[in-house]
Amino acid sequence: MKQHLDLSKIGAFSLVPANSNTEADALVVGLFPNSAFQALPTSLESEEYNMEHPQRGKCVIFNNRTFESHTNQSERRGTDLDVENLYSRFKDLGFDTVIHQDFKVKQMLLELDRVGNEDHSQSDCFVCCILTHGDEGNIFGTDGKFPVDRVFKPFRGDVCPSLVGKPKLFFIQACRGIHLDDGVPMVVDTVDGPGQVFRIPTHADFLACFSTVPGLQRLFQRRRTGGGG
């Protein structure tokens, strides 16, 4: 699409109303020679993610087995077997894999924030596995619970730009019980001129897998794992 405009005097032009809040209206195109905008690691036309970065990415595993008495949560016997299997599989897939055992709420949140602040520009993707207890809308640290949505916040496009346009995979093994956003600008390189800017949702490229549906407890085979949520 060619526009005959004096581009030296324009920062951006919207294809839709600027105050629109719907994902369908989130597309914005313009010129932004600004380092704050991230270049997409994959072309918009591509049906596959770019998995040719120097590193596969980080896999963070939280394994909460034993809980403080005031939480009224039982020990998750057998969860260690699940963690061993996850660790082995993601290591085999080339991930930099780390296990955090029996973390309190503050520890979990601090670690999630820390990882979200890391530079993932050389990585293909990011994986987080959480094995713990939960209830509707919340998951547990060993000393209490917090909203499950808080897990995803540090990896949103407007918070963690080095993961924009890359898969962010979350596997949550727990019982359980999600707001349109304003989007984050992305630069798409062009051959014959400055990049166009497209606005994509800040929660784009997220995959969250839960072991049950909202409002229901997780069923598990005690003989094999015993790690009920």
> What is the set of active-site residues?
133, 175
What is the DSSP code (8-state) at residue 217?
Answer: P
Nearest-5° angle of CA 228, CA 87, CA 47? 100
The tokens of 29 are what? Answer: 């195109």
Which residues have CB under 8 Å from 84's CB, separation 6+?
none
The tokens of 33 are what? Answer: 């020679």
Nearest-5° angle of CA 41, CA 58, CA 220? 120
Nearest Cα to Cα of residue 227 among 215, 213, 214, 212:
212
What is the DSSP code (8-state) at residue 4?
Answer: -
The tokens of 35 are what? Answer: 């380092």
Amino acid at 68: E
The tokens of 130 are what? Answer: 């959480």
24-41: b (≥16 Cβ within 10 Å) or e: ebbebbbbbeeeebbebb
| Whole-number Å distance between alpha carbons of 43 and 58 | 23
What is Dmax (Cα atoms) for the chain? 70
